[in-house]
A and B are shown apart, each in its own frame.
Chain A
């Protein structure tokens, strides 16, 4: 399982209601359902992801996150998850605000643009590529890459409290100089 998904499953309480935004093939929700008995719904826009999610036995709703979560009531989920999708959103700020409205807590994960290997590549004069960001600059879906500092500034702006932060590199937690040494960030936030 992807390192961030493993970290997420440690942050979700058993038996709760979970909404996974951009659920892909549904493996995270399936894992949470099987191991934590959560009641889960996934949101996915790509037809292949929707079909794969159905195959994985999760409740999936085909919907465009860019249109927001207007169909979802305030505080209707215990946890709203956005894993590795934040950086690909056009309407990043409105979505984060919507997540804070719909979920008691939110879990957001993203590749840390401030990771030293990324910085080195920029220093070398090229756009960074890595296992977390495997795209070329001209075909990347990632339009809003950010660092830990950038994300925390956005949290402050939208009134999100950071409850927990896990920074990972090569599947292991990083404690010192996280914005430099961590390739992946996992945040637990609430309104």
Chain B
């Protein structure tokens, strides 16, 4: 890490309102919508230095910086984005946006449907990665960005970066695709389905319209998050972090929390229910499940990727078993088949899928070196 790296400091989110209806992949449409976003750095005069950061399942528009000087409010990619950091805000104008269906200010299931005067709840339409990209393009128009220097993300965020390259080939120069897969495996979908079942079978779910009942499907959402956390960490990382440590030092022969890992998962689950909406969790996991760009080319990923014009950086992590390096290599292969510029780094890490959020020397030097090249290319 650059020794001069620092935080972007205090930031303020903005809200953009869009009056023009957004047609969705499902056939439904959103008559109007809001997107909440943050920006860091300065857009240069030829508007060539913008980087869009797309968030993953539970992420937000708050990528970097803090609110009111409170270090606990640091953005989810604060280690990656800032002055002197791999995504250097001294050179780039960085945009973070909360996706449609989210619960952090962009229009989502908990938002009031202007037609009914009530929260959307279960009536909020299912959205796809492609829908998000269309909505993000509206935000780019709003900000006066014709072409991003790069669109970047990890996990589900990386899928958006890839989708950008497919849907708007002329509107980005680079896609940075970290810890991704070209589509979910049956196992991935299986995990998502268990998480969804945990939520929808919670008695407080009320068919998705729990807002009116003044409750949330707390237990279901908590379970969903606990399950998720298991898939984000590697077996080794979990063992290293928690081992078989007992809170009380000995077996209690009870169902109370005994092992450190139980305590960790319960804590993560509890914390999550305080900040996340269960309906959003359902929508986000569905968007993951539906993502399959090869489907547009009869399952042939290479044929689907032929539309891409951007150069791509693909990064994977050795112990990520949710989206393993082999899945990233499928993306690399499809780009190679089209003779497209592609760079691939496989980062040695014990952190599992979560590694994309963590500081790691090789990972950060790959991203910063790559983006340094991008900066030169766009005169940032």
Contacts and interface: CB of A to CB of B under 8 A. Distances in A.
A107 B372 CA distance: 32
Interface string B335-354: 01101011111101000000
Interface residues of A, number: 18
A57 interface: yes
B343 A55 contact: no
B332 interface: yes
Given A39-B339, A47-B362, A51-B366, A61 B373 contact: no
A61 B199 CA distance: 41
A130 interface: no
Contacts of A50: 345, 362, 366
Interface string B309-332: 000000000000000000001001
Contacts of B337: 73, 76
B339 A55 contact: no
Contacts of A61: 332, 342-344
A60 B333 contact: no
Given A61-B332, A63-B344, A71-B333, A55 B366 contact: no
Chain B interface category by residue count: 20 to 34
B365 interface: yes
14 contacts: A39-B339, A41-B336, A41-B342, A47-B348, A50-B345, A50-B366, A51-B362, A55-B373, A59-B342, A59-B343, A61-B332, A61-B342, A62-B344, A63-B346
Main secondary structure of the interface of A (DSSP, over half): mixed
Contact of A71 (B329, B341, B345, B369): B329
A117 interface: no
A50 B337 CA distance: 21
A54 B369 contact: yes
Contacts of B339: 17, 39
Contact of A54 (B329, B348, B373): B373
Contacts of A54: 343, 366, 369-370, 373
Interface in B347-380: 348, 362, 365-366, 369-370, 372-373
